[in-house]
Amino acid sequence: MHLVIAIDGPAASGKSSVARALAYSFGFAYINTGAMYRAATWQVLRRGVDPLDEAAVAAAMEASQIVTGLNGLKESTITLDGDDPTPFLRDEAINHHVSNVSTVPRVRELLVARQRAYAERDDIVMEGRDIGSAVFPQTPYKFYVDASPEVRAQRRAAQGEGDSIAQRDRIDSTRRASPLMIAEDAQVIDSSRLTIEGVVGEIIGRLKLKRFPLPPLARLTRE
């Protein structure tokens, strides 16, 4: 298996920007698992399936051709039945339903298998809710990026999105199948008063302490 840096955290904690920046500076692939659950939600909605009907959601995803990969920037991609849902992933309807679709165990199984497959081919930075706790529990490099509820609500509003993050956090944290949680051995970083660069710097510092094999390029740019 390749190197895996797991970054988990609640909605709008800044983990996407941090994970992308870290992956870019190390030359690792950046895997956005939230985008995969958002894509599944898009598929369920466009197939006219009730997102609250667990059995129907599972059946719709079983019947879908899910193809994951990497683009030229080494960022994760996904298509469903040949179609790319990227332009729709931040739509309000997706924000509204994604946490319900994500509670369905079969949906998680189908997507987690693809998430794990990425590490068979590349060193990766993977962000999500359950990466350190369930997808790659064995990686020693796991972080939980948090921020106060006020800061997170402000960040999401500044992105101009209609998104009830408190409601998503509640569903994500209380679901039975791999809920959002702080893995026992995760390092928690409060990003409330830090910039993206500040959080990335903090993570690199902590990786060094853990004797993480920093790629030569990353080491060069920091010396």
**What Cα–Cα distance (Å) separates residue 31 from each residue in 96, 102, 116, 128, 208?**
22, 17, 10, 9, 22
Q: What's the closest the beta carbon of residue 199 comes to ligand CDP, in angstroms? A: 14
E strands, 60-121, in order: 66-70, 76-80
Determine contact, residues 146/189, Cβ cutoff 8 Å. yes
User: Which of 54, 158, 39 shows the shortest CA–CA distance to 94?
Assistant: 39
With CB under 6 A, what is the number of residues at the site for ligand CDP?
15
Rg of the Cα atoms in the chain: 17
Q: 179 or 215, CB closer to ligand CDP?
A: 179
Residues between 133 and 162 with contacts to ligand CDP, criterion CB under 6 A: none
Determine contact, residues 130/173, Cβ cutoff 8 Å. no
| 76 near ligand CDP, rule: CB under 6 A | no
From residue 89 to residue 128, what is the string marking binding to ligand CDP with x (rule CB under 6 A)?
---------xx--x-------------------------x
Q: What's the closest the beta carbon of residue 128 comes to ligand CDP, in angstroms? A: 3
Strand duo 76-80 + 29-32: pairing = unpaired
**What Cα–Cα distance (Å) separates residue 33 from each residue in 40, 76, 95, 130, 178?**
11, 8, 14, 9, 14
| Chosen residue from 14, 168, 200, 202 binding ligand CDP by CB under 6 A | 168
Q: 16 or 76, CB closer to ligand CDP?
A: 16
| 37 near ligand CDP, rule: CB under 6 A | yes
Tally of CB atoms within 10 A around 14: 23
* H/E segment holding residue 157: helix 149-158
Residue nearest to ligand CDP (CB): 34
Q: What's the closest the beta carbon of residue 94 comes to ligand CDP, in angstroms? A: 8
Indicate the SS3 state at residue 64: coil
Q: What's the closest the beta carbon of residue 203 comes to ligand CDP, in angstroms? A: 17
User: Which of 118, 14, 133 shows the shortest CA–CA distance to 75?
Assistant: 118
From residue 8 to residue 27, what is the string marking binding to ligand CDP with x (rule CB under 6 A)?
---xx---x-----------
Q: What's the closest the beta carbon of residue 48 comes to ligand CDP, in angstroms? A: 21
* H/E segment holding residue 199: helix 196-209
Q: What's the closest the beta carbon of residue 26 comes to ligand CDP, in angstroms? A: 20
| 130 near ligand CDP, rule: CB under 6 A | yes
Q: Which residues bind ligand CDP (CB under 6 A)?
A: 11-12, 16, 33-34, 37-38, 98-99, 102, 128-130, 168, 172
